[in-house]
């Protein structure tokens, strides 16, 4: 039944290309992982890169085919989703006759095609970059297969045609990121970080699984084509539960699914894993932060957006978590001194913006919200990847992550290309016209305004100002800084490191940086038409379920907020200006040395002590107040009581040798009591 | 009756012959090699026979050969086969740090007799056959648990299992007598009719709960699980493997045999009971496993938790539940045996404890990878076998509207993830001692590769699940 909303089409080259998009990265993983990686790291690096390049080429074929044969084909309008292929994967017979099946498909619609393009293109560039970056690493033969696997899982995720497939790839993305973040497994901090990322996202995924089951079982299908239709929302929109505890199933299910996105996209308070994930090699970070892993959460929310927009409560949660995370992470980023950590918090903040943009859709203009968020995912992927790759080049050159040491190196002269590329990316993320970030950020602000969500609008503006400040700080400290500040100039390890390894910009590492600078600068102007112009992302099929009329189109409200870009730009420029004054003009080093730091700075620098709170909860509370008492109770009270009951009280000292026979009686006593209690409380009640 | 009519019974008869032959062969074979080869070749043949042999159903008085029983029998055969392979180094001098086992012929013979009991259990058409099967499937393990020579722990495990087994047999028998009193019959068809006619008979419910108590012991279902850690820890590792896979599968089969067919009419009323037992088992298993240092004890608690998940299937509808149960047992068996083989490898030089895993990633990277796969599979991470199994169980419960229960189960799966990762941590992060690199025999490498591939294939490809569902469901 869901198929009626899918465009029927047959254009063979596109099918083959779609298969290839999934098969080539998998092939690269298998070839390199099972065989080539052990033989020659170099050969495996090039194989992976070439195959990923081919994947990118195939994704262009698919994208152009999609545009010509489905998106703009008049006879298919308004259907804009199609399946390149689909095979039944799992059949669950559910007793009552209903058959719930999960399929393995390749779903084409504007956002999946966009993501396929972004992922394959960025993965290709990251592969290219890694050839240079991982050249001297002993584990390079292990690195490239994992990188291919990571790309494969993310591609599989974005083209999923149903929730079950999504979940499957979702978990694979998690597993792949676990292996890559913990790539340097001899380093305890890397292992701890990978474990943290995995366990935290698993926790969130548990809710996802529950939401998925609740939604799928009740709507009768896992397929997006069906779930995004009006029947699914109607079928789910009823209360379950009994007595005092009743839930609206639609809210409960979508909230569960959103919890998965919450963890994966590292919204507060699940955000703690992302900054630590920096322990992986820099190319991995760039991939995680731009095209894979973290955007999966935003993507999932967007993928089910028609269903979400029927659940008002869930959308409000999405909006609040997003807006809060945006401001919160931007504030923390202002006080970090580790290059990659600043970028990590900036990712958190930008993800928050995307999420809050989706959430604002509850105000009656879901189309505007949806397109703005997707537009920002798109532009963010490029400039964030560029930021990471150039940060990697800096780290590679000075052998340090510390922004204060980078400032000592005079890198502006030594790495001119990296300098300019970073400048472009920094200006783009700060939202300076005419770079890409300006347009997508503006779209988000407009969406908030059009939906009447003034809180989200304020959060967006505030985030914009903070972003401009910390990114300018980042830039000026690295390239215009000096070693004054907390560190004595003669003691700078960076200087020593530099003497040992003179700074050079390797061709293989610079090329992807230069390539990425182009979309980072221009993709906003070029993509504007696609995202918000005549070819709309938000079609009739989504609008129908959310009760939105065709006339409610994105960006038609620009006139009502023409002051918005001006205000945003002024805020951004003043943020950047303050950073310039402080760090480049006054040469303030990395702001405060530790002793003089005021309390508010320490709180920011320590990331609001969230990690410490978690550690406290996990170590102290869980193990001391839950696990330990449980063990103590079992050992002392349960066993002890029954020893006493059976008249065989043993001394603790003899417990090891002779208490065992007493314990069998205790086991039996517990068992009998258990059977009795089960019968008493769950039996038919005689 | 012509001879041809006995063809469906062939596997059961062959098994009996095999058991007797293996018991006898020790008289002629000095080193026990002949017994080993006879056993594994016989079991492999039996597995082929069950998988591809006669497909016709047959009824021999109260001994029923059905498609479902064939699936269970295949499962038992494969689990026993894996146990036989696993036990091989334990009979070799220097094969295990805990001491060498002796008299392999008797050991394998006992395993086969145990299997005979399981065969009878799933073919039972009345409660007497059912009970006899259950007993025969348990008694040899009394001896097997105490098989480690001159080992106090093993002797203790044996005696403890005898005590608990005796107690559970008494409960089972007591329950059966109640059922007989309530329904006036022992045969399953008559039982089913009587239960459907008077589902609220108090004697019936008394019988059901005593029976559930007896089966719960075999299953190591909380609150009847407390023997498991002691017995698993004391028994030799191959026996522990047999207990945790084959014997558990037999208990699950017994549960399914009774509650999905003759007692199916009262199963909806039993839902709260199964739900409570499931939650208790998950919680007890997961909390218990968290602080274990001994791997056999760890396996015991983790298997208690797995039983909790499997009990979710008892809430669903018949066919889907049986398929989910069988699929879970298969995936659990594959994962479990992969772990036990790793334990066997490290047990060659040191104790089979967490600290024995230290530095595994340096000593043998492939083994360490397999260990990670096992742990991920037990925790239910895709694309490994354990994920699909859990997914089937959870959706079976969700389809019946038990959202709270699924929530608890999922939360437990997350908790379990913590201690499974602790094992991985030992293998990868904990500083290794000066232990040397591990060298494996070709047979061991083959078995480990097979299990590793099965872990992946079962998790991605549902074809075996479909096949089992169709075979076990009818």
> Are A684 and B269 inside 8 Å of each other by CB?
yes
pLDDT digits (tens, 9 = 90+) for B261-280: 888 888 888 888 999 999 98
Tell which of A568, A588, A605 closes a domain. A605
pLDDT the model gives residue A676 = 83
Q: Chain-centre distance of CA A323, in angstroms?
A: 16
pLDDT category at B471 given cuts 50, 70, 90 is low
A599 vs B405 pLDDT, higher one = B405
A99 touches chain B (CB under 8 A): no
Nearest CA in chain A to B369: A179
Write the CB contacts of B199 (distance below 8 Å, at least 6 apart in sequence): B265, B266, B269
Number of H helices, E strands in chain B: 20, 2
pLDDT of residue A78: 56
**pTM summary value:** 0.78
Minimal-distance CA residue of chain A relative to B271: A682
Same domain, A421 and A486: yes
Q: What is the pLDDT of residue A411?
A: 76
A143 and A177 both lie in a single domain: no
Size of interface A-B (CB pairs under 8 A): 154
Q: Are residues A114 and A172 in the same domain?
A: no
pLDDT tens per residue, range A11-40: 677 888 888 999 999 999 988 888 887 788
| Angstrom distances, CA of residue B199 to CA of A625, B119, B175 | 44, 29, 16
Kindly list the residues from chain A whose CB atom is less than 8 angstroms away from the CB atom of residue B400.
95
Residue A363: inside a domain: yes
Closest CA to A391 of A309, A486, A234, A509: A509
- Specify whether A473 is located in the same domain as A368: yes
- Output the CA angle A13-A14-A20, nearest 5 degrees: 90
Q: How confident is the model at residue A497 (pLDDT cuts 50, 70, 90)?
A: very low
Give dist(CA A223, CA B27) in Å, integer. 64
SS3 content of chain B, % helix, strand, coil (to 5): 75, 0, 20
A264 domain residue, yes or no: yes
In this structure, the answer to whether residues A198 and A127 fall within a common structural domain is: no
Q: Are residues A442 and A519 in the same domain?
A: yes
Q: Which DSSP category does B93 fall into?
A: T
User: In terms of domains, do A583 and A653 share one?
Assistant: no
pLDDT digits (tens, 9 = 90+) for B293-305: 889 989 998 999 9
Host domain of residue A435: 326-605
Same domain, A234 and A333: no
> A390-428 pLDDT, tens per residue?
998 888 888 777 877 766 666 777 788 888 999 999 999
Evaluate whether residue A516 is within a structural domain. Answer: yes
pLDDT exceeds cutoff 60 at A502: no
Chain A residues closer than 8 Å to B462 by CB:
89-91
A582, A605, A628: which is the final residue of a domain? A605
Give a yes or no: residue A421 inside a domain.
yes
Buried b (16+ CB within 10 A) or exposed e, B174-203: bbbebbbebbebbbbeebbebbeeeeebee
Query: Where do runs of H (alpha helix) occur along B104-146?
Result: 104-123, 127-145
Please tell me the predicted confidence (pLDDT) of residue B199.
82
Bigger pLDDT: A75 vs A369? A369
What total number of domains does chain A contain? 4
Q: Does A240 touch chain B (CB under 8 A)?
A: yes
Same domain, A424 and A555: yes
**Amino acid A627: pLDDT:** 52
Q: Please name the residues between 363 and 422 in chain B that touch chain A, using a CB distance below 8 Å.
A: 376, 381-383, 387-388, 391-392, 394-396, 398-401, 403, 406-407, 410-411, 413-414, 417-418, 421
Q: What is the DSSP string of B281-323?
A: HHHHHHHHHTT--BHHHHHHHHHHHHHHHHHGGGGS-HHHHHH
On whether the CB atoms of residues A301 and A308 are closer than 8 A, the answer is: yes
Dihedral sign, Cα of residue A407, residue A410, residue A412, residue A416:
negative
Task: Confirm whether A101 is domain-assigned.
Answer: no
Residue of chain A minimizing CA distance to B419 = A199
Percent of chain B with pLDDT over 70: 95
For position B434, what pLDDT does the model report?
A: 66
CB contact under 8 A, B382 and A185: no
Cβ of residue A618 closer than 8 Å to a chain B Cβ: no
Contact A389, A285 (CB under 8 A): no
Please list the residues that pair with A13 across neighbouring strands. none
Residues A505 and A462 in one domain: yes
CB contact under 8 A, A214 and B398: yes
On whether residue A674 sits in a domain, the answer given is yes
- Cα(B202)–Cα(B210) distance, rounded to whole angstroms? 12
* Residue A314: inside a domain: no
Confirm whether A498 is domain-assigned.
yes
Do A224 and A348 belong together in one domain? no
pLDDT band at residue A217 under the 50/70/90 scheme:
confident
Q: Same domain for A201 and A58? A: no
Asked if B361 has any chain A CB less than 8 Å from its own CB, the reply is yes
State the best of B160, B429, B431, B465 to mutate against chain A, taking most chain A CBs within 10 Å: B429
Please determine, for residue A91, whether its predicted confidence score (pLDDT) is greater than 80.
no
Cα angle value A414/A418/A419 (rounded, 5°): 75
Q: Which residues of A touch B314 (CB under 8 A)?
A: none
Q: In Å, what is the CA distance from A479 to each residue of A404, A406, A426?
A: 10, 8, 12
pLDDT confidence of residue A423 = 92
Taking an 8 Å cut-off on Cβ atoms, the answer to whether B410 and A206 are in contact is yes
Measured CA to CA, the distance from residue B407 to residue B392 in angstroms comes to: 15
Q: Which of the residues B410, B416, B432, B470 would you substitute to probe the A interface, choosing the one with the greatest number of A C-beta atoms within 10 Å?
A: B410
- Least CB–CB distance from B276: residue in A195, A207, A678: A678
Q: Please list every residue in chain A whose beta carbon sits closer than 8 Å to the beta carbon of residue B319.
A: 93, 95
* Residue B164 with chain A: CB contacts under 8 Å: 664, 667-668
Rounded Cα–Cα distance for residues B329 and B306 (Å): 10
Last residue of a domain, one of A560, A579, A605: A605
- Describe chain A by its helix, strand, coil percentages, rounded to 5: 75, 5, 20
Measure in Å the smallest separation between the Cα of A146 and chain B Cα atoms. 14
């Amino acid at each position: 039944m869901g198929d009626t909303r899918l465009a029927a089409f047959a254009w063979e080259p596109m099918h083959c290309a779609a298969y290839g998009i999934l098969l080539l990265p998998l092939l690269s993983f298998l070839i390199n992982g099972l065989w080539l990686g052990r033989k020659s790291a170099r050969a495996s690096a090039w194989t992976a890169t070439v195959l990923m390049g081919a994947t990118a080429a195939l994704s262009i074929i698919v994208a152009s085919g999609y545009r010509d044969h489905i998106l703009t084909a008049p006879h298919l309008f308004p259907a804009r989703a199609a399946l390149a292929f689909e095979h039944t994967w799992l059949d669950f017979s559910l007793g009552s006759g209903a058959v719930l099946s999960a399929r393995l498909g390749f779903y084409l619609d504007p956002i999946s095609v966009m993501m396929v393009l972004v992922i394959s293109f960025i993965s290709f560039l990251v592969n290219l970059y890694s050839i240079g970056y991982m050249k001297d690493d002993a584990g390079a033969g292990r690195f490239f297969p994992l990188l291919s696997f990571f790309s494969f899982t993310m591609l599989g995720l974005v083209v999923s045609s149903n929730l079950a497939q999504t979940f499957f790839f979702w978990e694979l993305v998690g597993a792949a990121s676990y292996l890559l973040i913990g790539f340097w497994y001899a380093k305890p901090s890397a292992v701890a970080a990978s474990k943290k990322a995995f366990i935290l996202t698993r926790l969130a995924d548990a809710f996802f699984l529950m939401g998925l089951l609740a939604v799928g079982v009740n709507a009768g299908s896992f397929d997006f084509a069906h779930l995004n239709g009006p029947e699914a929302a109607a079928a789910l929109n009823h209360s379950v539960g009994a007595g005092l505890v009743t839930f609206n199933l639609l809210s409960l299910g979508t909230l569960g699914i959103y919890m998965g996105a919450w963890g994966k996209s590292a919204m507060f308070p699940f955000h703690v894993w992302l900054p630590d994930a920096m322990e992986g090699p820099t190319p991995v970070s760039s991939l995680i932060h731009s095209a894979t892993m973290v955007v999966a959460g935003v993507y999932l929310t967007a993928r089910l957006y028609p269903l979400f927009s029927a659940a008002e409560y869930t959308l409000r949660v999405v909006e609040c978590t997003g807006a809060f995370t945006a401001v919160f992470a931007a504030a923390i980023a202002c006080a970090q001194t580790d290059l990659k950590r600043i970028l990590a918090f900036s990712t958190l903040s930008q993800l928050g913006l995307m999420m809050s943009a989706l959430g604002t859709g509850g105000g009656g203009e879901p189309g505007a919200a949806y397109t703005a968020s997707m537009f920002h995912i798109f532009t963010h992927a490029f400039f964030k990847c560029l930021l990471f790759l150039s940060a990697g080049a800096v780290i590679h050159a000075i052998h340090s992550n510390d922004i204060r040491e980078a400032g000592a190196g005079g890198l502006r002269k030594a790495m001119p290309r990296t300098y300019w590329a970073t400048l472009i990316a920094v200006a783009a993320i700060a939202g300076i016209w005419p770079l890409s970030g300006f347009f997508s950020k503006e779209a988000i602000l407009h969406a908030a305004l059009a939906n009447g969500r003034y809180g989200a609008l304020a959060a967006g503006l505030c985030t914009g100002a903070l972003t401009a400040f910390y990114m300018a700080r980042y830039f000026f400290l690295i390239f215009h800084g000096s070693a004054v500040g907390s560190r004595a100039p003669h003691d700078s390890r960076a200087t020593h490191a530099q003497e040992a390894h003179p700074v050079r910009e390797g061709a293989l590492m610079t090329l992807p940086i230069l390539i990425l600078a182009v979309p980072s600068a221009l993709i906003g102007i070029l993509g504007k038409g696609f995202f918000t112009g005549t070819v709309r992302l938000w079609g009739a099929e989504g609008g129908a379920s959310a009760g939105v009329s065709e006339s409610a189109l994105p960006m038609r409200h620009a006139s009502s907020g023409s002051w918005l870009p001006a205000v945003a730009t002024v805020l951004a420029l003043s943020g950047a200006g303050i950073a310039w004054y402080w760090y480049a003009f006054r040469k303030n080093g990395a702001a405060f040395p530790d002793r003089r730091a005021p309390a508010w700075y320490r709180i920011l620098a320590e990331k609001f002590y969230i990690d410490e709170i978690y550690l406290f909860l996990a170590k102290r509370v869980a193990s001391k107040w839950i696990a330990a008492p449980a063990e103590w109770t079992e050992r002392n009270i349960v066993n002890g009581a029954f020893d006493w009951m059976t008249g065989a009280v043993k001394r603790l000292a003899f417990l090891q040798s002779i208490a065992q026979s007493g314990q069998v009686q205790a086991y039996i006593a517990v068992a009998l009591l258990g059977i009795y209690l089960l019968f008493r409380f769950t039996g038919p009640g005689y | 009756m012509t001879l041809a009519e006995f063809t469906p019974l062939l596997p059961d008869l062959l098994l009996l012959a095999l058991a007797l032959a293996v018991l006898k062969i020790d008289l002629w074979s000095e080193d026990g090699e002949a017994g080993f080869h006879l056993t594994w070749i016989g079991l492999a043949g039996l597995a082929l026979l069950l998988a591809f042999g006669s497909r016709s159903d047959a009824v021999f008085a109260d001994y029923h050969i059905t498609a479902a029983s064939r699936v269970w029998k295949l499962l038992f055969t494969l689990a026993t086969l894996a146990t036989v392979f696993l036990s091989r180094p334990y009979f070799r001098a220097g094969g295990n740090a805990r001491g060498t086992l002796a008299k392999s012929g008797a050991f394998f013979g006992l395993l086969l007799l145990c299997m005979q009991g399981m065969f009878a259990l799933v073919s039972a058409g009345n409660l007497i056959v059912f009970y006899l099967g259950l007993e025969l499937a348990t008694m040899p393990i009394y001896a097997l648990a105490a098989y480690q020579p001159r080992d106090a722990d093993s002797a203790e495990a044996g005696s403890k299992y005898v005590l608990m087994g005796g107690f559970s047999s008494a409960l089972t028998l007591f329950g059966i007598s109640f059922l007989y009193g309530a329904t006036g019959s022992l045969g399953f068809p008559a039982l089913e009719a009587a239960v459907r006619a008077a589902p609220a008979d108090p004697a019936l419910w008394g019988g059901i709960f005593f029976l559930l108590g007896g089966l719960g012991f075999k299953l190591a279902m909380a609150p009847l699980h407390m023997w498991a850690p002691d017995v698993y820890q004391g028994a030799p590792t191959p026996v522990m493997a047999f207990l945790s896979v084959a014997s558990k599968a037999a208990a699950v089969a017994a549960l399914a045999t009774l509650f999905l067919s003759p007692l199916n009419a009262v199963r909806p009323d039993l839902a709260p009971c199964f739900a409570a037992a499931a939650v208790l088992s998950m919680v007890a298993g997961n909390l218990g496993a968290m602080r274990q240092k001994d791997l056999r004890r760890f396996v015991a608690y983790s298997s208690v938790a797995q039983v909790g998940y499997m009990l979710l299937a008892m809430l669903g509808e018949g066919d889907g539940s049986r398929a989910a149960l069988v699929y879970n047992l298969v995936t659990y068996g594959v994962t479990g045996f992969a772990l036990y083989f790793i334990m066997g490898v490290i047990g060659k030089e040191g104790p089979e404890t967490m600290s024995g895993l230290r530095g595994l990633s340096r000593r043998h990277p492939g083994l360490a990878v397999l260990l990670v796969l096992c742990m991920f599979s037990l925790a239910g991470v895709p694309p490994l076998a354990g994920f699909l199994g859990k997914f089937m169980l959870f959706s079976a419960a969700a389809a019946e509207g038990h959202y709270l229960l699924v929530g608890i189960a999922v939360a437990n799966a997350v908790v379990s993830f913590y201690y499974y990762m602790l094992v991985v941590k030992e293998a990868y992060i904990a500083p290794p001692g000066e232990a040397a690199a591990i060298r494996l025999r070709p047979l061991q490498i083959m078995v480990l590769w097979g299990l590793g591939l099965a872990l992946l294939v079962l998790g991605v490809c549902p074809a075996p699940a479909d096949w089992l569902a169709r075979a076990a469901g009818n």
